[in-house]
Amino acid sequence: MARETPAAGFTSPGAESQLFVDLYRRMRLIRRFEDSVQTLFQQGLVHGTTHLYSGQEAGAVGVCSVLGDDDRVAATYRGHGAALALGVETEGLMAELLGRATGVCKGRSGSMNVIDLDHRLMGCFSIVGGSIGAATGMALALKRTGGVAVAFFGDGTANQGYFPECLNFARVFDLPVVFVCENNRYGEFTPFEQVTGGAILDRPRILGIHAETIDGNDVWTVRHTAAAAVERARAGEGPQFIESLTYRFVGHSRSDPGAYRAPGELDEWRKRDPLTVTRAGLGDRYGVSAEALDEIDESVEQELAAAVEAASNAPFPEPGPVREFKGG
C-alpha cells in the first residue's frame, strides 16, 4: 500500500520510494559482497582473517544515507558494510581484500584497515575502540567546516578505554560527532551482558550526551534516527549516541563457529533479517513489487560477479621501495 504523504524530508512519495529502493540495493550488495568474501576466504584467496557485516546492513546503510560531502566516517575491522554504504568501489574493495594492486589501498591495508578518503571513509580501525578516537579527532577538525564525524563500533567497545575517554572529551568540547554503537549482542565470542555492567545507554547519558536505543535492523528507523542525530550535531548540540540493536548472522571472524549462540537465537534474528524487513517495507509502504526487487537483486549479482572477476584477475603488487615518510 502506497502512503498518501511523503515522509519528512521528501518532496514526493516517489522520491522517498526511490531512495529506500536504493538503500535496499546497497544492503543487498553488502550481503552478497560478504557472501563472496566468505567463499573467497574458504578458497584461500582472502587472507588472514576477515569480519563480515552480514545481518547488520541496515546500520551502516541507514546512517551513511544521511551524510553530506563534508562528513566523515570511522569504521571498524568489520568495515566492509560502512565502506560500501559510503560508495567505496565494489571492485576496489574486493581487490583490496584479495591483496591486489588495484585495491583501494593497493593491497597495503587488507580487510581490517581500509582507508578511502575520496569516499569519506577516514578509515577502518582494527583495534577495538580506535574508530571512536579517530572520529572524535575528526570532529575537532570538522567543527571548523560544519561537517559531522561518525564512529561505528560494537557493544564490546563500551568496555574499552577509548569509550569513556573520548565520549567525555567530545562532550566537554561539544564536538560534532555521532557515536553509533552497533550492539550485535556479542563481543567476539562472549555475550555482552556477561562482561558489561549496567546498560550501555546509561554511559553516554550520564555524561549528558543525547542517546537512544533503536531497532538497527529497520533501515527506516536507522535513517530517521541518524538524520536527527546528525542534524543536532551539525547544529552545535555536541556529540550524539545511537545504540543500534542488531545481530551478525556469521561468526565474529574466521575462527568462530558461533557455538556460544543460544539455541534458536539465530533463527529468531533471521526472521528480522534487515533485507527481509526492507523488502516487506518497500512493498507495504510504496507498493514496490517483489519482481522489481528481484530485478535489483539480479543487478547486484551482475555487479558483484564483474567486481570479483576483475579483482581476481588483477595483479598482485610488486615488492619495491617504500617511502617511510612523506617528504623524506
Please tell me the distance from the alpha carbon of residue 109 to that of residue 221, in angstroms, as a whole number: 33
Q: Does 271 bind other proteins (CB under 8 A)?
A: no
Distance CA 82, CA 149 (A): 13
Residue 76's DSSP bridge partners are 125
Residues 77-116, mask of contacts with other proteins (x by CB under 8 A): ---------------------------xxx-xx---x-xx
Q: How far apart are CA 149 and CA 126, in angstroms?
A: 18
Buried b (16+ CB within 10 A) or exposed e, 10-34: eeebeebbeebbebbbbbbbbbbbb
Looking at beta carbons only, is 105 or 266 nearer to other proteins? 105
The residue (of 9 and 48) whose beta carbon lies closer to other proteins is: 48
Residue closer to other proteins, measured from CB, 109 or 246: 109
CB of 135 to other proteins, least distance (A): 6
Residue with Cβ nearer other proteins (22 or 316): 316
Instruction: Lay out the sheet containing 240-245: strands in order across.
Output: 121-125, 72-76, 149-154, 177-183, 240-245, 210-215
Q: How far is the CB of 106 from other proteins (least distance, A)?
A: 5
From 130-138, 207-215, 222-230, 263-271, span contacting other proteins (CB under 8 A): 130-138
The C-alpha atoms of residue 36 and residue 43 are separated, in whole angstroms, by 11
Residue 63 as a binder of other proteins (CB under 8 A): the answer is: no
Looking at residue 287, its amino acid is: G
Which H helix or E strand runs over 186?
strand 186-187
CB of 263 to other proteins, least distance (A): 37
Site membership for other proteins, residue 326 (CB under 8 A): yes
C-beta neighbour count of 123 within 10 angstroms: 23
* Residue 155 one-letter amino acid: D
CB of 321 to other proteins, least distance (A): 12
The DSSP result for 311-326, as a single string, is HHHSPPPPP----SST
Tell whether residue 72 is a contact of other proteins (CB under 8 A).
yes
The Cα 302–Cα 113 span in angstroms is 27
**What are the φ and ψ backbone dihedral angles of 151, each rounded to 5 degrees?**
-115, 125
> How far, in Å, CA of 95 to CA of 315, rounded?
9
Draw the binding track, 137-176, toward other proteins (x: CB under 8 A; -: no contact).
xxxxxx------x-----------xx--xx-xx--xx---
Number of residues lying near other proteins (CB under 8 A): 45
Judged by beta carbon, residue 152 or residue 162, the one nearer other proteins is 162
CA nearest neighbour of 210 among 188, 228, 224, 195: 228
CB of 192 to other proteins, least distance (A): 21
| Residue 319 binds other proteins (CB under 8 A) | no
- 126 or 246, CB closer to other proteins? 126
The binder of other proteins chosen from 33, 41, 77, 125 (CB under 8 A): 125
CB of 169 to other proteins, least distance (A): 4
At 8 the three-state DSSP class reads coil
Q: What is the binding site for other proteins (CB under 8 A)?
A: 72, 74, 104-106, 108-109, 113, 115-118, 122-123, 125-127, 129-130, 132-142, 149, 161-162, 165-166, 168-169, 172-173, 322-327
